Amino acid sequence: NNMKARKLIIVESPNKIKKIQSFVGSDYVVMATCGHFLELDDSKFGIGIDINDNFKPFYKLDPNKKDRIKQIVDIAKNCNEIFVCTDNDREGEAIGQHIATFVRQDDKIKRATFNEITKSAVLKALENPTKIDDDKVDSQKARQVMDKIVGYKVSPILWKSIVSKTPLSAGRVQSIGLKIIVDRQRE
């Protein structure tokens, strides 16, 4: 196989690699990010977010994912097409954008999504690629920033209120869950 002619498919879960590889054949290389590989950098502003600069998030590479991302970037250099096939949700879109940032070959990057791992669904997605949806990426970024800010403010209250052997944290989901419980109890 001529490595120059290869195409790269990037998914989130390594469990999908073998099946997708069997659908697409040897012209493709299928790799997985294993979920997010960038995380908020707490060394910046204590929470990784500059609240005074329009809630700008600062990210750092998860040290456990360093080698994996290097492998993806190295293989991407030798590919003509790079299909970001991360999950079809905000998280997947953000992971796709992070991949694009690392690969730095926007002209080669295409977004392909499928909701089932079947040969027809995968091939159809690869034949009809789109672009990474910046609105979904921004939506995920906003959710992540909200989680961090709410958790940062609410978690210390939990620590003072509830004695626990393990550290407790709160995010927007836990906070609203607690509100619903309290509302129901009051009813």
pLDDT tens, residue by residue, 111-132: 999 988 999 998 999 999 999 9
| Whole-number pLDDT of residue 8 | 92
Q: Is 116 helix (H, G, I), strand (E, B) or coil?
A: coil
Distance CA 114, CA 135 (A): 19
| Whole-number pLDDT of residue 1 | 43
Element (H, E) at 83: strand 81-84
| Whole-number pLDDT of residue 96 | 92
Residue 89: both structure tokens together: 């949700």
Q: Are 99 and 24 contacting, i.e. CB atoms less than 8 angstroms apart?
A: no
Tell me the HSE value of 111 on the side-chain side, using a 13 A CA sphere. 20
pLDDT truncated to tens, each residue of the chain (187 aa)? 445 458 999 999 989 989 999 898 888 999 999 888 888 888 888 888 888 998 899 999 899 999 999 999 999 988 889 999 999 899 999 999 999 988 887 789 999 999 889 999 989 999 999 999 999 998 898 888 888 887 766 666 666 666 666 666 665 566 677 778 888 999 9
| Whole-number pLDDT of residue 10 | 93
